[in-house]
Amino acid sequence: MPPIRQVAPLLAFSLALLATGGARAITYGECTALVEQSPGEGYKAAINWAARTDDPGAQHCAVLAEVALQRYAAGAERLSRLIDQTANPYEAAALLGQLGNIRMLDGKPDLAVAAFTRALNNTPNDPETLADRARAYAALGHWPRAVRDLDAAVQIDDGDPELYLLFATALREAGKPDEALGAVERALRLAPDEPAILLERGRIRLIRGDRKGAGQDWQAVKANAPAGPIRDAADASLKALEKTKGQ
């Protein structure tokens, strides 16, 4: 499955200028920009800001800095405390989605599932969060659960080729190649000739016994995809297909 998304600031916190001792405090936008330039300096700025205000933006900026510094456990704990202080269910759901992605970055998909599930309790029809929980289930090898979430996601948003690609992959891994083919064909109608989708269709075709079709898909990926893991995977698949020729 495609890699998990990196955590980004999603909430529009109220970020008025703060006056302390006659000096203007840093704003959320300034803080996050500093995190992007220098996570260590951004973290220091966020902590100093948090010491002078109860604005949730200060704590959230510190979370982003800790993630940028790859201190995922610390960032998750700080974000959990912020969630506990968030009364608005929609804002809490957005933060819980971020928490789930941090847990994934920290290699803890079980905790990610818990966070995404809490988010879905607040916003049950969010296809993005359903897809995120499906990725977490996939990391745990719980493919039928991933299929369930992605089935729900494509019912809500039937115009996203990435959702259908994820759905096709989950169906293949769950041992449902015929249904997987239908999902990947839908993805290709939405994004024709997309290399990642063609790579997946080749895998599904091979499982269904269509060696020629699989080879054609992987040849197309090899010919048209930019250098990188997708083209490398297609090349490796073609070599493996050639080795089993005649078997």
Give me the residue spans of the domains in the chain. Answer: 1-9+81-141, 158-247
Output the pLDDT for position 41.
95
C-alpha distances (whole Å) from 176 to each of 167, 200, 215 are: 11, 14, 21
Q: How far apart are CA 241 and CA 211, in angstroms?
A: 8
Output the pLDDT for position 173.
98
CATH class of 158-247: mainly alpha
The tokens describing 229, both together, are 């893991």
For residue 20, the cross-strand partners are: 23
Q: Are 234 and 225 in contact (CB under 8 A)?
A: yes
CB burial readout 104-138, b (16+ within 10 A) else e: bbbebbebbbbbbebbbebbeebbbbbbbbbbbbb
Average confidence (pLDDT) per 10 residues, the chain, 247 residues:
38 32 70 96 95 93 98 98 96 98 98 98 97 98 98 97 98 98 98 97 97 97 96 97 83
Phi, psi dihedral angles at 210 (to 5 degrees): -95, 80
